[in-house]
Amino acid sequence: MPLRDLDLAIVDVETTGAASHYHRIIEIAVLKVKKGRLVETFSTLVDPERTISPFVEGLTGITNKELENAPTFSQVKDRIYELLDGSVFVAHNARFDYNFVREEFERAKTNYTAKHLCTVRLSRALFPEYRRHSLDSLMERFDIRCANRHRATGDALVLWKFLQILQDRFSGPDLKKALAGMLKAPALPPHIDEALVKSLPSSPGVYIFLDRDGDPLYVGKSINLRTRVLSHFSSDHDSVKEQSLYRQVADIRTIKTSGELGALLLESHLLKQLSPLHNRRTRVSKRFVVMKRDKRGNEYETIRLERLGTLTASDLPDIVGIFKSMKQAKDFLWRVAGEHALCPRILGLEKGKGTCTYTQVQRCNGACKGMKPPPDYNSRFLTAFAGRGVTPWPFPGPVLIEEQEDTGRAGERFVVDKWCLISWFRFDETGTTRRMFQGDYTFDYDGYKILVDYLIKSRKKAHLHVLTQEELACLQENF
């Protein structure tokens, strides 16, 4: 199976963030390769229908203004599908790009699956003597030039040049063996029969992989449950975790929702409730670290870090940051201290007497020894942490968000206030409504990120109604 015998689609995407379940593509490039020749190049900016962060703007050079005038993924999906269809999906860290592309197709109500070839894994297999296999490492190792690094077309062209190098250097059995191992045909797990997979719905919702004792192994969400579940079995299980999950899964349960918002919120809830074995810890953490403003002897502004399991809406105004771990919070504080000439000792990052580490390298002006008056220091402190806290609730009161199914006669309604999910109702074609969830004003950080993305960052118009207290009381009483 030489490379020249394969039809390839070399893909690179730039995105709003790292998590494909709620971030979006902002640029995509596809290089079509047939019989070892590059026959077509396609690239386009993609409107993610939300704003992108200054970090992403700085990394890629892509601006929010450019994206507002770009087509949405739905508007270019047919062209992209035409280029990908029937080809091996090739990318560097292919799972990342493949998951983003597949998820975008799902949102556009299009099924897409393909064999995918990861050039990171291919490099590791063919060059085991090297420790690093990042795109920058490959460019340096093989003297590959890239005019537009961190742009989709530029990075995709680097992969095309890398594949050409492999074809020249490995014409014998080594390359064939590596490719055959990575592109072998998928198979269902040993304890899952085909009838179960065929019965899976093609609707939005959440799926749960269970072991033979009925214990949860993995929770995920999708706009198309059947397609997403099958995608778990279409790879060659290249990690120990994937191999373990493949061997253990004995049953699959699904919970249908009306749309993506419901699927995201339900997945977040079930991850915390079930603590499935194979989900990433960062997505099921029940505790977090909050960063609050404090005063040192009523003079210098500082920070207090607290480990918490729950927050209420009333706690939010004092918070300037929420983190998954103490290390993450302290790393952030060190970075802010360096950028704004703040004192690590006052911030609680260093203990002891004398001047702090940053004073010795002239990055702190001696506030730890009282050499700088509190008003000047506090002014820099306030600038450093301005806008770092929880986004203020943008409505005068609670809101009712409605998400309808394609028929328009059934759907779900969510009551949200101060970023807290208060109630969740489902209604059917007959008008019957039942309560799915009843919460309180406990703040859930993962739910907060989902709702900020949906209500503020998204440029899609949400179907919502601001509730009066009387309307809220009526909902709670009747349902």
Catalytic residues, by residue number, are 150
Whether the Cβ atoms of residue 404 and residue 262 lie closer than 8 Å to each other: no
Whether the Cβ atoms of residue 419 and residue 317 lie closer than 8 Å to each other: no
Residue with tokens 């290089």: 31
Structure tokens at 48: 């993610």
C-alpha span between 271 and 396 (Å, rounded) = 31
C-alpha span between 451 and 265 (Å, rounded) = 9
C-alpha span between 169 and 165 (Å, rounded) = 6
DSSP state of 49: S
Q: Which of 445, 441, 21, 425 is nearest to 269 (CA)?
A: 445
- CA-to-CA separations, 157 to 42, 85, 101, 137, 162, in angstroms, rounded: 11, 20, 18, 15, 9
306 Cβ contact partners less than 8 Å away, ≥ 6 residues apart: 289, 290, 292
Edge-first strand order for the sheet with 251-256 is 216-222, 205-210, 251-256
198 Cβ contact partners less than 8 Å away, ≥ 6 residues apart: none
C-alpha span between 462 and 464 (Å, rounded) = 6
C-alpha span between 237 and 270 (Å, rounded) = 25
Whether the Cβ atoms of residue 448 and residue 439 lie closer than 8 Å to each other: no
C-alpha span between 282 and 305 (Å, rounded) = 19
- CA-to-CA separations, 316 to 292, 388, 393, in angstroms, rounded: 9, 12, 10
Whether the Cβ atoms of residue 374 and residue 300 lie closer than 8 Å to each other: yes
Work out the number of other CB atoms within 10 angstroms of the CB of residue 168. 8
Work out the number of other CB atoms within 10 angstroms of the CB of residue 167. 14
Quick check: helix, strand or coil at residue 25? strand
Whether the Cβ atoms of residue 163 and residue 95 lie closer than 8 Å to each other: no
Work out the number of other CB atoms within 10 angstroms of the CB of residue 176. 15
C-alpha span between 346 and 371 (Å, rounded) = 13
